[in-house]
Amino acid sequence: MSAVASGEAEISRSTLHDGRVMLDQPVKGYRAGLDAVLLAAALELRPGAQACEFGCGAGAALLCAARLNPDARFTAFEKDQAMAGLASANTALNGYEGRIAIETGDALALAGTARFDAVFFNPPFFDDESALRPPAAEKRNAWISDAPLEDWIGAGLKALRPRGQLVIIHRADRLGDMLARFKGRAGDIGVLPVHPRAGEPAKRVIVRAVKASRAPLRILPGLIVHGGEGERFTLQAKAVLTGEARLCLHSPERRRP
């Protein structure tokens, strides 16, 4: 990691996917990491697909997804102007200008109707400010959403073409809310629990749903992130985090969107 200058904010440069994705992000404030890389690994796109990320921040998940899906095109919305500028700069830094478009604004209002083959997001984990100690001002937008999770999912489904996929990583205790919002609107739902360590409850879930599908819900074998006896990551988690492996949430017999 190294520090670089960007206007008045102090920016540091780090890498993802074992050095193959470069990412500049603020030294102070929310810094993307594990969740962003896991989200990107769950997104599998056919050549020519049009995908969209809601709330891309500096672009961590977006850039990893672009690397893993080299024949797809991406649009990303970020309402924080400074972060949108960083995402644009990171897009250029990684040579993806021709495949990624960054738009400044609220995705829930601007994503439109039936535009995309895939929508993905890692939304703020809280939509009730009373649910946690108030975060630092520079972290608020990353931790607390002004819109409830149900609105994020509703806007994502609206923006999808029929049979398009919605992919989310979120708190495991919100799984019931997510499934309720999908009822009657999406199916072929794959749920991948993410466990910190073997034997511990999942703290995250990655959920993939297909718009207008009636295929049944599937609970998939969980991903265990950290190994035992001093191992930082399990072999599976390490392969995903270095960009060598994906997380398969789609039905094997069904085509990618």
- Give the residue-averaged pLDDT of 37-44: 97
User: Which CATH number fits the domain that encloses residue 59?
Assistant: 3.40.50.150
- Helices (H) then strands (E): counts for the chain: 8, 12
Instruction: Evaluate whether residue 58 is within a structural domain.
Output: yes
CB 194 within 8 A of CB 38: yes
Question: Which residues of the chain form beta strands (DSSP E)?
Answer: 2-6, 9-16, 21-26, 50-54, 73-78, 100-104, 116-121, 160-171, 186-197, 204-211, 218-219, 223-226
Under DSSP, the state recorded for 20 is T
> Rounded to an integer, what distance in angstroms lies between the CA atom of residue 129 and that of residue 163?
35
pLDDT digits over 130-147, tens only?
A: 444 444 444 444 444 578
Instruction: Evaluate whether residue 77 is within a structural domain.
Output: yes
Q: What is the pTM of this model?
A: 0.88
- Give the residue-averaged pLDDT of 227-244: 93
| Number of domain units in the chain | 1
pLDDT band at 253 (very low <50, low <70, confident <90, very high): low
Instruction: Evaluate whether residue 257 is within a structural domain.
Output: no
> Rounded to an integer, what distance in angstroms lies between the CA atom of residue 9 and that of residue 120?
28
Instruction: Evaluate whether residue 43 is within a structural domain.
Output: yes
Where do runs of H (alpha helix) occur along 183-252?
235-241
> Rounded to an integer, what distance in angstroms lies between the CA atom of residue 205 and that of residue 192?
6
> Rounded to an integer, what distance in angstroms lies between the CA atom of residue 32 and that of residue 39?
11
- Give the residue-averaged pLDDT of 176-183: 96
Instruction: Evaluate whether residue 213 is within a structural domain.
Output: yes
Instruction: Evaluate whether residue 106 is within a structural domain.
Output: yes
pLDDT number for residue 252: 74
Instruction: Evaluate whether residue 252 is within a structural domain.
Output: no
Instruction: Evaluate whether residue 248 is within a structural domain.
Output: no
Q: What share of the chain is helix, strand, coil (3-state, %, to 5)?
A: 30, 30, 40
Other C-beta atoms closer than 10 Å to the C-beta of 226 total: 14
pLDDT digits over 44-72, tens only?
A: 999 999 999 999 999 999 999 999 999 99
**For residue 153, what are the domain limits?**
2-241
pLDDT number for residue 30: 73
For the cut 80, the answer to whether the pLDDT of residue 118 exceeds it is yes
